[in-house]
Structure 1
Amino acid sequence: MDADDSSDSPRRIKSIQTASAILEAIQHLEAPTFTDLCGEVDISKGTVHTYLETLESEGFITKSGNEYRLGVRLVTMGESVRNQTDIYRAGQDEVEKLAEKTGEWVHLTVECQGQEVTLYESSGDRAIAMDYHLRMRESPQYLYHTAAGKAMLACFDRDRVRELVNRQGFVQRTEKTITDLETLFEELDRIQTQGYAVNDEEEVRGMRSVGTAITGPDAAVCGAISVTAPTSRLSGDYFESEIPELVMEAANIIEVNLETAGVKQPR
């Protein structure tokens, strides 16, 4: 077994790490060639070829001409992951209802390895930027520049937040993106007090969002729900009070669904 034997870190299986790196490269590069992939991973060309042949035979990737793409087997595996996730089952209907009420994009997200992953989303009849929101499903987002992400960060202890930021660094998406730890901590304190987070053009200029965390029966954060809309529609009292109330109400219902999902009714 080709494991990492470093005494300073937990043991890891190198071959799985390499396969993961190749899959991520194929996703990131969008239809790369063999030469492209050899430039992305630090292994010999022969080893890259062996991995590609194996991944293709297992259905994880496909080859068309000289280009590689992720395989549809990953779609079915992803659906299985989502369908087995408690917050998805508890929150799917509320996401749909909130999208219908607001007419905007509503996202149900979770934290994975320090980043935000969209588990489910629904678009209302006024929702815009369809391509952008669909692309959000394909790659994790930094927690500190989205409303849902900041709402989840506010539930973490400060040492964990500091560790995440030190590992990832700050990436400035717009002129309003938070780029220092002190400002982020001030924002997280404010979120804890008011119960929800806002993204005021911090990720995309012209877009705002409101999000709040969702906690499970053990009181630990298990995800977040958010509404996203253009600044022209998400402003004034609607942005500052009406949408936050709707988002927090939806989160509360999802939490009740999570709390009662495993409760047996008395006979």
Structure 2
Amino acid sequence: MLQNLETFDLRDTGVREMPKEIGKLRMLRHLLGDRMSLIQLKNCIGCITSLQTLHNVSLDGDGYGAGVVELITELGKLKELRELGLVGVVREHGSYLSSSINEMKCLEKLDIESKSKEKVIDLHLISSPPPMLRNLTLNGKLENFPEWIPELQNLVELRLVRSQLTDDPMKSLKNMKNLLSLFISGCAYEGECLHFQDEEFRKLKDLCIVFEKGALCSLKMLTLYYIPQLKTVPIGIQHLEKLEVLRNWYMPTEFVESVSSDGGKEHWIIEHVPLVEFRTLDGTFIRHSKT
């Protein structure tokens, strides 16, 4: 009966199943929930053409069956969508999901989360990635760094979580001139080196590298080398219990001061490391050893 309803917010209510009658709310612009199932709307969600925000939709309900495929296909009719959040994504959804996202020319924010850490996110947006996309989160395994991400020249924020990448993604991101925030967490990168080259990432203002408990459990040496935007210690270094050497070379003054043994507010994060070395921007070498 709420024919003029524009916002339907079901977050923090525990409601998961959406009744098909929601399809009658043709003025609805924002539909917000927590892992809500829209399988009941698989034949009518595309009729709510005024929708601008759709978050957080679960694709778990029908497994890989026809119902979830129909739902994903319907999403491609939402031409005015600005924000889309999906959870429970698996490889089998890839081609259908890619086709629908390619139709969302107004999309500004996209959050994709896989069903589990073993499930692969496999999107193919090479031909026509959303031109207005500013915020992208990929939470799940990526077999390779997506080739279409560097094509998103309006992208401001990129979050990679649980990606399990082994090739340095920085070489693909280096020409993204508008990227301001980069978040790497939860085993997003399992290679040996993240390389930020000279004159790259000139606009980056927020760099967050997170080591979660249990990740890199055998790591003995970690080197942070000339990351001017990194002003604080990467979150979770305290979890690297076997770390023997931490090298901080040519890091900004704010970073060095934050971990200083002489009153640095974040020194506690690295105090378990037997050997910590600093080489400041002016060439000064500082070595702290517990042996």
Tell me if TM exceeds 0.5: no
Q: Report which structure shows greater RCO (CA 8 Å, sep ≥6).
A: 1
TM-score by length of 2: 0.22
Structure 1 length normalisation: TM-score? 0.24
Give the number of the structure whose residues are more often helix, by fraction.
Answer: 1
